[in-house]
Amino acid sequence: MPSSIDSPLIPGDRSSLRADCSNCFALCCTAFGFQRSTEFPIDKPAGTPCRNLAENFSCTIHDSLRARGFRGCTVFDCFGAGQQVSQVLFGGRSWRDHPETQSVMFQTFGVARQLHEMLWFLAEAATRASSPDTADDIVRLQQDLAFVLGEDPSALLGLSVDTIRSEVRDVLIAVSEETRGSYLAGAADSRGDDLGPAANLTGRDLRSRPMCGADLRGAYLIGADLRGADLTAVDLLGADMRDARLHNANLSGALFVTQMQINASQGDEATVLPDALERPQHWLNN
């Protein structure tokens, strides 16, 4: 597989944080495992190729994944880590042609994906930060992460990912508080105490609730009804949005939303998404 990727990540450039499956050795279909569930119809151990993987690293059932029960595959996003590991860190040498690379490549992908996700959030944070100190911290973290992602795989495997995640989390919280600040005064009483970090809002009808500026980091929004909701300045970092109903909702100004969250939810052509995200195909097919 020829590679068009021969340069390191550019801090803040989200184009390199989008999955390019044509330049990846199907690492999401091999490195990670999954269990039979509503997301997958079969069990697959980590480190083994999916039974639907073709010799050229494409998916033999790509056009019918949801119909065949592989919903989890249509939700997943590697944030561009797949092509970075395949083409930059391993120089275009596939695990099939070089079996000795398999174990390290798969481990490296697991770490790189986490770092790429952090870079995705930091890129958004950089556009929202109003404090010079916070902005400086964002630039430093972006540069550090981009540097190590261009190093030898052993550098990634030796990282303390939890330490880095903690630093990134602190910056994202600071940006969230800055951005939500104008919505906070006097708004908490009208929203209610149940709207907060890690709130369990599973299946809740939230259509009539004022939402702007709410902090829903890590909240459970599984099956929640958010039709027509204005989610401006709502922090959705890590929120579980599986089957959340986003029809006609406005997420254009929501904070730290990922493609995975959107892919896992329900919506329609009237749903307004952040510029960086795409409307899932299954929304258009419903």
DSSP secondary structure code for residue 86 in this structure: I
Taking 70 as the pLDDT cut, the residues of the chain under it are: 1-8, 184-193, 286
Chain CA centroid to CA 149, Å: 17
11's tokens: 């801090």
| Residue 186: predicted pLDDT | 52
Instruction: Provide DSSP, 200-263.
Output: B-TT-B-TTS--TT-B-TT-B-TT-B-TT-B-TT-B-TT-B-TT-B-TT-B-TT-BS--HHHHH
| Residue 1: predicted pLDDT | 38
User: How many Cβ atoms sit within 10 Å of the Cβ of residue 202?
Assistant: 15
264/239 Cα distance (integer angstroms)? 11
| Residue 284: predicted pLDDT | 83
For 44-103, write each residue's pLDDT tens digit.
999 999 999 999 999 999 999 999 999 999 999 999 999 999 999 999 999 999 999 999
| Residue 9: predicted pLDDT | 76
Selection from 256, 209, 205, 199 nearest residue 233 by Cα = 256
CA distances from 79 to 39, 76, 271, 281 (A): 20, 9, 22, 18
121/203 Cα distance (integer angstroms)? 27
Q: Are the beta carbons of 79 and 20 closer than 8 angstroms?
A: no
Alpha helix ranges (H) inside 98-211 = 102-128, 132-148, 153-157, 161-184, 188-191
| Residue 285: predicted pLDDT | 76
Measured torsion, CA atoms of residues 215, 177, 114, 165, in degrees rounded to the nearest 10: -120
| Residue 187: predicted pLDDT | 55
Q: Are the beta carbons of 2 and 25 closer than 8 angstroms?
A: no
Identity of the amino acid at 60: T
191/174 Cα distance (integer angstroms)? 22
Phi, psi (5° rounding) for residue 55?
-60, -30
